[in-house]
């Protein structure tokens, strides 16, 4: 028995499924999860000492790679001063100021400890600010595991959703409308039917949990128009895309294509914590004044603004602002996806790819999908074979075909070439 197998069997005796987040269990792809011992730069090393080129990067936060010297120094220094105080620190202000400086739509920020907590709080804030209960989400977008968000589409057009998890009461799900991503007609119908009752629409502007699927520009434009017309708040969930696809995040990308565009509320995580548990939500001062202690919308957290996490996040944000950072990151990511597409073509395998900044996705189909239903048509068996072929070749991809991938500043030319060589072998 391998060390990874032994650890997995041991883990299953004390942890449900042997993991603390379901995708890590390898249930989607089969086989034994790799238990990671350490990370260094673009690599992770498992319990048996095998090194992998890492394209998960802790699901996005490790934009600088593992163990970046400036981040390590900041974390070590902060830890010496204390792990947690339950009282304000100056570094919380510095991190908030940094986010506000980089994201024009935000005037104030509240720090929390996880993306799930941030999206939950953002929806509560929208409900409190508008006095409305219903909201829209989109099939294939993941916004955390709170009850109102674990909901799938109903059977009819613009209908209310149904719970996707046991333990979620139907009474909670009844306030959630679940629509098809990139479907303008369905969006218009939902607003025509329920516009006066909608507190907000929450969306991943580039979905990363049905692999990598962009919101089409006409769709985003109409979404912004409808929210403004009906008094609903537009919530951009940038937990994954925030500072990952560009310095101004995904909303900055859409603002270039739609002059004047901005969401009402933004949610961030992952990169802003640099790998530590940290997330945030922010909006205009007018909206944010609804939060306690100023307003009636309650939100709190013992570890919110944790001094070690804020040190890690602040050091990360400062590094990614250095000249040429995103140009180099984007070029490396493009080199990877174009190379994968070429390898697939050489082997006669249907393959489509897309990327933005340091985030990418690929599909074993000839054209990029625009919604979850199309993503579901991907050849799962072929993906699983490809995943294990890449794993055997020392390349660690997401262990599920519905997850985006991530490139870091630590990935080198040699890493990309090694990845493409592994792909040639796996696709044969």
The DSSP symbol for 197 reads: G
Average pLDDT, the chain: 95
* From 142, 326, 372, 396, active-site residue: 142
Annotation marks residue 142 as catalytic: yes
Backbone φ and ψ of 260, nearest 5°: 90, -5
Catalytic residue among 52, 181, 270, 326: 270
Please count the CA atoms within 13 angstroms of the CA of 422 that sit on its side-chain side: 22
- Cis check for the bond before 46: say yes or no (omega within 30 of 0): no
Task: Considering the chain, tell me which residue range(s) the CATH 3.90.1150.10 domain(s) occupy.
Answer: 3-57+323-427
- 103 within 8 A of 251, measured Cβ to Cβ: yes
Task: Please list the residue range(s) of the chain that carry CATH number 3.40.640.10.
Answer: 69-320
Please tell me which residue in 43, 54, 137, 237 is annotated as part of the active site: 237
- DSSP for 166-205 reads TT--HHHHTTEEEE-TT-HHHHHHHHHHHGGGEEEEEE-S
Q: Is the pLDDT of residue 103 over 70?
A: yes
- Alpha helices, DSSP H, located in 302-410: 307-320, 325-346, 372-375, 380-392
CATH class of 69-320: alpha beta
Q: Are 193 and 187 in contact (CB under 8 A)?
A: no
**pLDDT over 50 at 158, yes or no:** no
Tokens 């603002």 belong to which residue? 255
CATH number given to 3-57+323-427: 3.90.1150.10
Does the annotation count 402 as an active-site position?
A: no
**Whether 52 is catalytic:** no
Retrieve residue 226's tokens. Answer: 């409808």
What is the share, in percent, of the chain residues with pLDDT greater than 70?
Answer: 98
Residue-wise pLDDT tens digits, 352-374: 999 999 999 999 999 999 999 99
- Reported confidence tier of residue 155, pLDDT bands at 50, 70, 90: very low
Contacting residues for 142 by C-beta, under 8 A, at least 6 apart:
149, 204, 208, 209
pLDDT, greater one: 356 or 154 = 356
- The pTM score is 0.96
């Amino acid at each position: 028995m391998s060390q990874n197998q032994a650890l997995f069997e041991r883990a299953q005796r004390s942890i449900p499924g042997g993991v603390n987040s379901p995708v890590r269990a390898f249930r989607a792809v089969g086989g034994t999860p790799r238990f990671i011992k350490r990370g260094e730069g673009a690599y992770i090393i498992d319990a048996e000492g095998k090194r992998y080129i890492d394209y998960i990067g802790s699901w996005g936060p490790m934009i600088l790679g593992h163990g970046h010297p400036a981040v390590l120094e900041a974390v070590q220094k902060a830890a010496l001063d204390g792990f947690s105080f339950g009282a304000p620190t100056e570094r919380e202000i510095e991190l908030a100021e940094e986010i506000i400086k980089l994201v024009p739509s935000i005037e104030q920020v509240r720090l929390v400890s996880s993306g799930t907590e941030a999206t939950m709080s953002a929806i509560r804030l929208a409900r409190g600010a508008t006095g409305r209960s219903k909201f829209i989400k989109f099939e294939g977008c993941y916004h955390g595991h709170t009850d109102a968000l674990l909901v799938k589409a109903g059977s009819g057009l613009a209908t209310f959703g149904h719970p996707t998890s046991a333990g979620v009461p139907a009474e909670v799900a009844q306030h959630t409308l679940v629509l098809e991503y990139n479907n303008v007609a369905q969006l218009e119908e939902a607003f025509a039917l329920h516009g006066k009752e909608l507190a907000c629409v929450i969306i991943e502007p580039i979905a990363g949990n049905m692999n990598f699927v962009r919101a089409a520009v006409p769709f985003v434009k109409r979404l912004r128009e409808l929210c403004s017309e009906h008094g609903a708040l537009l919530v951009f969930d940038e937990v994954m895309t925030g500072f990952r696809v560009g310095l101004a995040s995904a909303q900055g990308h859409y603002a270039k294509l739609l002059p004047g565009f901005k969401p009402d509320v933004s949610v961030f995580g992952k990169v802003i914590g640099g790998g530590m548990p940290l997330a945030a939500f922010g909006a205009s001062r007018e909206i944010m004044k609804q939060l306690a202690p100023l307003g009636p919308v309650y939100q709190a957290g013992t570890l919110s603004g944790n001094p070690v996490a804020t040190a890690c996040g602040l050091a990360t944000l400062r590094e990614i602002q250095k000249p040429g950072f995103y140009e180099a990151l984007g070029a490396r990511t493009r080199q990877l996806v174009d190379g994968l597409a070429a390898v697939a073509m050489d082997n006669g395998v249907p393959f489509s790819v897309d990327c933005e900044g340091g985030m990418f996705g690929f599909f074993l189909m000839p054209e990029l999908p625009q919604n979850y239903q199309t993503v579901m048509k991907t050849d799962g068996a072929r993906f699983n074979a490809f995943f294990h072929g890449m794993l055997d070749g020392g390349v660690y991809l997401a262990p599920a075909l519905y997850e985006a991938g991530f490139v870091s500043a630590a990935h080198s030319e040699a890493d990309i070439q090694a990845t493409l060589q592994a792909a040639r072998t796996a696709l044969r």
